[in-house]
Amino acid sequence: MVVFTVIAYLPAGTMTASVPPPRYGDGSQAWLRTANGQIVDGTGRKVLLRGFNDDALVSYPNDPPAPLDEMDATLMQQAGFDVVRLGIDWARLEPDRGRINQSYLDRVVGAVSMLNRHGLWVILDMHFRLGWSPRFGYSGAPPWATIGIPNWNPLHQSWSPALSPAAFTSDTYFWLTSDWKKDFYMTWQAVAARFKDNPGVAGYDIFNEAHPLPIPPRIFEKSYLWPMFKEAIEAIGAVDSNHLFFVEGILLLSLNTVVVHLKAPNLVYGTHVYEGSLVPPQWNGDPTYLRQRFQQRAKEAAEVPAPLWVGELGYDLGAKGATSYADAALDEADDLGIGWAWWQWRESRWWGIVDRAGQLVNMEVLRHLARPYIIATPTGVHAGRGDGLRGTLTIRVDPRHADQPIVIGWSALTLTAPITTGPCLASSQWDATTGRLTLQVDAATGCQLTLRAG
């Protein structure tokens, strides 16, 4: 026990992932990358990725997900959002060991193409749930990557699927050995090979919500989680070095993640925030604790170091306090200047903005989520908090700002057309079909711009 404790609290150290230089080709300005602790586009403008998760392509044998169609993409774009974190499934990608299911990969390509047509970047998320595999009723690993022991759980399956001996043992075997990881990396390479020339894919979210148990958490992160990220980035990068690499912290209530300093190009810390929602203490309207958790995630991102992006946050939309929680969480994101993906777009009426049948849109909640924000920000341009209910956004422009267009996500579904005022405003172009407002300001001139719904 003493030895484990000593190992757990030794310094985390440093790792380096060796990845070839990107090969963007002629359209280099279309690609996202990282620079100076931010996600940026090819012209150097900071980019905020804000949108939704969608799990239409993920295997949930006991609860099949809702579909994703053209209507969904249209609504997300018109509401001003610019990204979808799209779950994909190792189980479907490699149903038989060593064989990639090209027909499933074609479905992924089709979904990405549809979302790209509507101005939405896609983050491909290899989606695991606590139950480890569809064999045990959840998403994640293929049936062959499981240990054949009883799938029995004394508690309700919605509470603790990871406590099933079958899921518990299989998950642990993955982390403790190199056996299944080789296939996992190979599967990611097959995905990357299909998307290496597509700038509409923002990047690859390597492993969703890893949990440490039964390995002690600090040992798990230092000895297994971060080494896996390093190896996966090197494997993917050998095929495709053009995209962002998203890594996550652990999922174990409100336990902090021990960060290993990881040197890798285009790295993003895509953590999740569920404190006050799925993770206690339950939301009571006081934003203090939620703010602390956002600040902790920002600290972890700085330790990587990498830009911070919240890959999942959400709340039971049928519960009291849902909209006030959303407001508080998005205020923190605005204050930190970071992007996020809400869980999720289309599901049940308790969690989805659109119901399973695609017939009901929760406009009340969408008004809170679809707050105005700057999608592409030139240097020297700074936004305040957006207000999706009143339709307001204030932008400060420094005199030495970069002379580039400012692109704003403005919801045409929940707000009237924007009116922009300010002494340095040169031009304003509003497109309701795309939910985009493009501003140009006078060169070498500073001022405050005020945006409001007309």
DSSP, residue by residue, 56-80? TTS--TTSPPPP--HHHHHHHHHTT
Please answer whether residues 198 and 112 qualify as being in contact, where contact means their C-beta atoms are separated by less than 8 angstroms: yes
**Separation CA 103–CA 100 (nearest Å):** 9
Structure-token pair, residue 393: 């956004």
Please answer whether residues 86 and 71 qualify as being in contact, where contact means their C-beta atoms are separated by less than 8 angstroms: no
Q: Is the pLDDT of residue 295 over 80?
A: yes
**Separation CA 81–CA 317 (nearest Å):** 19
Task: Determine the average pLDDT of the residues in 219-225.
Answer: 97
Q: Calculate the average pLDDT of the chain.
A: 94
* 3-state SS assignment for residue 406: strand
Please answer whether residues 353 and 23 qualify as being in contact, where contact means their C-beta atoms are separated by less than 8 angstroms: no
Amino acid letter for position 181? K
CB atoms within 10 A of CB 368: 19
Please answer whether residues 59 and 91 qualify as being in contact, where contact means their C-beta atoms are separated by less than 8 angstroms: yes
Cis omega (within 30 of 0) for bond into 281: yes
Across-strand partners of 245?
204, 267
Task: Determine the average pLDDT of the residues in 322-336.
Answer: 98
CB atoms within 10 A of CB 4: 12
Which of 216, 302, 179 shows the shortest CA–CA distance to 5?
216
Across-strand partners of 431?
436
**Which of 14-28, 152-166, 269-283, 326-340 shows the lowest mean pLDDT across its residues?**
152-166
Task: Render pLDDT for 17-62 as a digit per residue (tens, 0 to 9).
Answer: 999 999 998 788 899 999 999 999 999 999 999 999 999 999 888 8
DSSP 258: P
Cis omega (within 30 of 0) for bond into 134: no
Task: Render pLDDT for 355-373 as a digit per residue (tens, 0 to 9).
Answer: 999 988 999 999 999 999 9
CB atoms within 10 A of CB 20: 12
Q: Would you place residue 3 in the very low, low, confident or very high pLDDT band (cuts 50, 70, 90)?
A: very low
Q: Is the pLDDT of residue 309 over 90?
A: yes
Task: Render pLDDT for 122-175 as a digit per residue (tens, 0 to 9).
Answer: 999 999 988 899 998 889 999 999 998 888 776 665 556 777 889 989 999 999
Helix (H) or strand (E) holding 198: none
**Separation CA 48–CA 374 (nearest Å):** 7
Please answer whether residues 236 and 192 qualify as being in contact, where contact means their C-beta atoms are separated by less than 8 angstroms: yes
DSSP 269: E
Across-strand partners of 382?
396
CB atoms within 10 A of CB 416: 13
Strand 406-409 to strand 436-441: parallel, antiparallel, or no bridges (unpaired)? antiparallel
Report the alpha-carbon angle 277-281-286, nearest 5. Answer: 85
What φ, ψ does residue 335 adopt, rounded to 5°?
-65, -35
Strand 33-35 to strand 447-453: parallel, antiparallel, or no bridges (unpaired)? unpaired
Report the half-sphere exposure of 89 (CA within 13 A, side-chain side).
27
